[in-house]
Amino acid sequence: MSDVKVVTAAMLVIGDEILSGRTKDKNIGFVADYLTGLGIDLKEVRIVADEEADIVEAVNSLRTRYTYIFTSGGIGPTHDDITADSVSVAFGVPCIQHPEAVAILEEHYASTNLELTKSRMRMTRTPQGADLIHNSVSKAPGFRIENVHVMAGVPKIMQAMMDSIAPTLESGTKMLSRTIDCPFGEGAISGPLGEIQDNHSDTLIGSYPRYESGKYSTQIVVRGRSADLVDAAAVAINNMLDGI
């Protein structure tokens, strides 16, 4: 297992609307799937309000701990879009109008009947030293500063931004996964399953109860970075289930 490379990430969702329940987040599940596909381990997610102190604290606490940070939300043109300012504060750099972002918006608005107002210019702001993150859906860019990737909250735009970031990310050894459907509740298998976990300590064995129509069943998931080790644990689990 000496060739295993582990790359980690955290996600920070920024927005009062998620915490009030008004908007149901769709970005966490997408980013979780996306990073798993790239071989990057999502280790933590936080959701915070549109409040500078909360955003600064979360960014600074996460960015030193994980390889990459991905944020969603708060980069639009309105007064409650304070992610660029807050990330600048977190890094201790000025929040500037990024020249490339200004050029992009100038070109875009010249081709429409809309004016590039002072408010729309808010969407050109990034921390000094940031690179832009482009997206194929809308013109207003996100940005990256060091290991922090700042993306839009609108799912379609966030997803396009992930596509544009993906080629720049270092990938880790992919976590492989096997799912085994178990017709029994967790209580029926937990003893032997714990023993199998002990005997296959290079894999992570999770067990996920379902409760439908008054009946429990379980999905058992084996994860690991070696196909052989994952298969060996799966065989042990299937043998155990056959014996019940």
Query: Which residues are at the interface with its own copies (CB under 8 A)?
Result: 13, 16-25, 28-29, 32-36, 41-50, 54, 76-80, 114, 117-120, 122-123, 137-138, 154, 156-157, 175, 177, 179, 186-191, 193-194, 197-198, 204-211, 221, 223
What single letter denotes the amino acid at residue 206? G
**Beta carbon of residue 167, minimum distance to its own copies (angstroms, whole number):** 20
Residue 219 tokens read as 């999905």
Least distance from C-beta 225 to its own copies, angstroms?
13
Rank residues 52 and 54 by Cβ distance to its own copies and give the closer one: 54
Which residue in 14, 15, 19 sits closest to 59, CA to CA? 14
> Minimum distance from CB of 31 to its own copies (Å)?
8
Residue tagged 């894999």 (tokens): 203
Task: Tell me if 172 sits within 8 A of 180, measured CB to CB.
Answer: no
Q: Tell me if 48 sits within 8 A of 17, measured CB to CB.
A: no
Query: What tokens does 50 get?
Result: 């549109």
Sheet holding 215-224, edge to edge: 176-182, 215-224, 204-212
> In the complex with its own copies, which residue's Cβ is closer, 93 or 137?
137
Q: Which amino acid is at 147?
A: N
Complex with its own copies: residue 183 or 209, whichever CB lies closer:
209
Between 29 and 99, CB nearer to its own copies: 29
Find the shortest distance in angstroms from Cβ 206 to its own copies.
Answer: 5
Q: Which residue, 16 or 85, is less far from its own copies as judged by CB?
A: 16
CB of 2 to its own copies, least distance (A): 23
How many other CB atoms are there within 10 angstroms of residue 56's CB atom? Answer: 18
Please give the Cα distance from 93 to 112 (Å, whole number). Answer: 33
Owner of token pair 């769709």:
26
Measured from the CB atom, the residue of 128 and 190 that comes closer to its own copies is 190
Radius of gyration over alpha carbons of the chain, in Å? 22
What is the nearest approach in angstroms of its own copies to the Cβ of residue 129?
A: 26
Listed in sequence order, the DSSP H helices in 20-82 are: 27-38, 52-63
